[in-house]
Amino acid sequence: MRERRRSLPDVPAIGGDESFDGLVRKLSVFFVSAIEAPHEWEELRREVYGPVLRPLVRYLVDEVQHEAIVCALLALRWHFAECETGDDRGINETRGLACELVAWRFVTHLTQRETIDFLCYDLPDTKKRSGSPAGNRDLEEADQVDNLEAAGHEQAPLLDGISPDMDESFYEEPRRSEYAEESDFATLFANLNALEIATVANAKAFLSQKSIQHVIECIWKGDIVFWETLSTYSSKRAKVYRKDRSDPFCRLRVPLYLKAFEVLFFAAFLTFYYVVLVQKHAGGVTGPEVLLYVWLVSFSYNELVEFWDAGSTFYATDFWSLWDLGIIFVGVAFFVARMIGLSRHDPVATDIAFDILSLEALFLVPRICSLLSLHPYFGMLIPVLKEMARHYPYHTKDFIKFLGLVAILYCGFSTSFTFLARGKYTLQEINFILIKVFFGSSYLGFDVAEEISPTIGTPLMFVFVCMTNILLITSLISLLSNKLDKVMLHARDEYLFVYSVFVLEASTSNRLTFFLPPLNLLPLLLRPLRLVMAPQKVRRARIVLLRATHWPFVLAILGYEHGRRLWADHRKSGSSAVSRALSHSPTSLRRRKALSSTRTPRLDQEPPPGRSTAVPPADDPVAAPETIEGLGTAVANLKTQVEQLTALLAKERQVKEGL
């Protein structure tokens, strides 16, 4: 292999005080020099990582103290993937995979506290930072100091094409990679953390690793939070959730609870939808129809806020965003047609309006079942459908080629049947019958076969059915199945990618006060106050409004968490009863071990000064000497112990059955 035959590249000298663009530039020099041949992911792990990439990982772990290391590696992954569009060699794609591999290996050497810091570190907005020293404030405050436009378009440059200088820098030798100096990665990925950059860069191999999924799972359950307090001076930073320090209203931002309340919102939405369609009051607007409009407006505003916060690129990565837009467009079309019908007293326009509303179920019913995508089985179907849609042009090309054979055979049969049925069926009628037979109505062809020709009508129709409905359709299904099998090879990575987007989309907003729909319409009443009040006072008013309107939701969340803790304690107490009985028995089945002073740090512990998580080996246990004289006593004690264990298990089983 080329990487082994030539000299290994030098690791970049990273001092820790580089700008984000400078850090990306130094890393790009290494990857361009290190990877000069295409490889698959498994080849990189087995053959290239050890001799080529491991020195870089060791250097980053032991020597570098830069909080944007993971962000820089994943930003490079996006850049190499974009460069791949004009390169048919596959080298840039391999370089992007190498960036994912190095980022993953780097994370595996971190403590849990450091992992959270590196993965959830938000890249600063250089324009905002130069204009205001406030740091990482929430989006509402930024809106009032003329920074909202920059924050709202945080990912807009990702839609643009790559400059020629950036593209050329990675096709040349390492000495030419200084052309990357003209790139502006800090602006492209401003206000994004490493996990969000990974989703934008389609770093599916990185996101599917267990260490990364552990952090995403903690974000989903609320063990990792981005907002710990609810005050005018709160700032966004990823922290481990601690009940004694965290504001209860911050639990409204937990993705698990957000999605649960979202399902309830869609359930009410669907209820109003069915009531309006069943009643169908053409003469006026009813109460359920007014509530339907309120739900539609609040949902549309919530989607606008999510799009504004996340940016167009990150918003588009969510599979369900397409369904959300469909709900909004159909709802707006219904409202417009409905108002036209009421203002003109036009029954035709009213009927059209309700016909349009009937289409809402195509988007609303699947959307309410979106939580099923969290299940691995259903979650794997969604990325398969996405990949099938993404490769639709290739499927269409193969399908058009296949239709050439179908058209040739069809013309021959159409001509034969037309002359055989001369005087009984016209050319149009024969073709319509053959089309029905082609799409599965074979019984219709056999019914008219004798009318077409008593002699050869039935045998010819049998051949036509076999050639089209069986052979051709079966061949087409096989063609599509081969494409589906290729997609299913990476279905797990695709599912974890969809799951990661699902979680991050609900958790990484820059807004401190997040109102659940339809209550999200209430803060609109406070917007005029921005003209006469200071930003801090408006922010305080939003916090007061949030506390006044969302306390029932907070009580429900706290009650659920309290019940979950009680249930967990009950299960632990049942299992610990057996352990206590065994520990107090004369002869324990387990040999007692001294507690090690060195343990794996918990999620809420501060990291040690270094990054090395190696645990020193414990001393070898010294077995107590057994004598032949005490063997009989030990056997008797063991028998008694087994009887006690059996009795305890039976008692515990009875308790569970009683519950």
Torsion of CA 386, 85, 503, 109, to 10 degrees: 130
Secondary structure (3-state) at 243: coil
At residue 640, the pLDDT reads: 76
User: At 495, phi and psi to the nearest 5?
Assistant: -65, -45
Please report which confidence band the pLDDT of residue 289 belongs to, taking 50, 70 and 90 as the band edges. very high
Q: Which helix (H) or strand (E) holds 224?
A: strand 224-225
Please report which confidence band the pLDDT of residue 278 belongs to, taking 50, 70 and 90 as the band edges. very high
Residue 577 has pLDDT above 80, yes or no: no
Residue 606 has pLDDT above 60, yes or no: no
**For the ranges 414-428, 559-573, 601-615, which has the lowest average pLDDT?**
601-615
At residue 558, the pLDDT reads: 92
**Spacing of C-alpha 113 from chain mean position:** 23
Residue 612 CA to residue 590 CA, distance in Å, equals 32
Instruction: Produce one character per residue of 456-494: b if its CB has 16 or more CB atoms within 10 Å, e if not.
Output: ebeebbeebbebbbeebeeeeeeeeeeeeeebeebbebb
Of the ranges 112-116, 122-126, 329-333, the best mean pLDDT one: 329-333
How does strand 239-240 pair with strand 224-225? antiparallel
At residue 333, the pLDDT reads: 95
At residue 128, the pLDDT reads: 54
Residue 158 has pLDDT above 60, yes or no: no
Closest to 200 (Cα-Cα) out of 107, 77, 41: 77
366: preceding bond cis by omega (within 30 degrees): no
Q: Are 266 and 368 in contact (CB under 8 A)?
A: yes
Task: Provide the residue type at 281 as one letter.
Answer: H
Give the pLDDT confidence of 458-514 residue by residue, as tens digits: 888 888 888 776 766 677 677 667 666 766 777 788 788 888 888 888 777 777 888
Closest to 370 (Cα-Cα) out of 427, 426, 423, 324: 324
| Radius of gyration, alpha carbons of the chain | 33
Residue 440 has pLDDT above 70, yes or no: yes
Q: In Å, what is the CA distance from 278 to each residue of 31, 272, 289, 357, 367?
A: 63, 10, 11, 11, 21
Residue 107 CA to residue 274 CA, distance in Å, equals 50
At residue 584, the pLDDT reads: 56
Residue 643 CA to residue 634 CA, distance in Å, equals 14
The dihedral of CA 626, 629, 635, 636: what is its sign? negative
Q: What is the mean pLDDT of residues 240-265?
A: 90
Q: In Å, what is the CA distance from 414 to each residue of 244, 275, 430, 469?
A: 80, 50, 7, 15
Residue 457 has pLDDT above 80, yes or no: yes
Residue 276 CA to residue 331 CA, distance in Å, equals 13
At residue 173, the pLDDT reads: 45
Give 344-412 as a DSSP string. Answer: HT-HHHHHHHHHHHHTTHHHHHHHHTGGGGGSHHHHHHHHHHHHHHHTHHHHHHHHHHHHHHHHHHHHH
Q: What is the DSSP letter of 590?
A: S
Secondary structure (3-state) at 225: strand
Q: Are 548 and 523 in contact (CB under 8 A)?
A: no
The dihedral of CA 416, 422, 424, 425: what is its sign? positive
The percentage of the chain sitting over the pLDDT mark of 90, rounded to a whole number, equals 20
Residue 329 has pLDDT above 90, yes or no: yes
Torsion of CA 162, 164, 170, 173, to 10 degrees: -170
**For the ranges 184-193, 260-269, 444-453, 630-639, which has the lowest average pLDDT?**
630-639
At residue 351, the pLDDT reads: 92
Q: Are 118 and 67 in contact (CB under 8 A)?
A: yes
At residue 613, the pLDDT reads: 41
Please report which confidence band the pLDDT of residue 298 belongs to, taking 50, 70 and 90 as the band edges. very high
Q: Are 215 and 255 in contact (CB under 8 A)?
A: no
Name 15's Cβ contacts closer than 8 Å, sequence gap at least 6.
Answer: none
Name 203's Cβ contacts closer than 8 Å, sequence gap at least 6.
Answer: 74, 77, 78, 100, 103, 197
Residue 556 CA to residue 562 CA, distance in Å, equals 10
Secondary structure (3-state) at 240: strand
- pTM across the whole model: 0.69
Q: What is the DSSP letter of 516?
A: P
Residue 355 has pLDDT above 90, yes or no: yes
Write down the mean pLDDT value for the chain.
Answer: 77
At residue 175, the pLDDT reads: 37
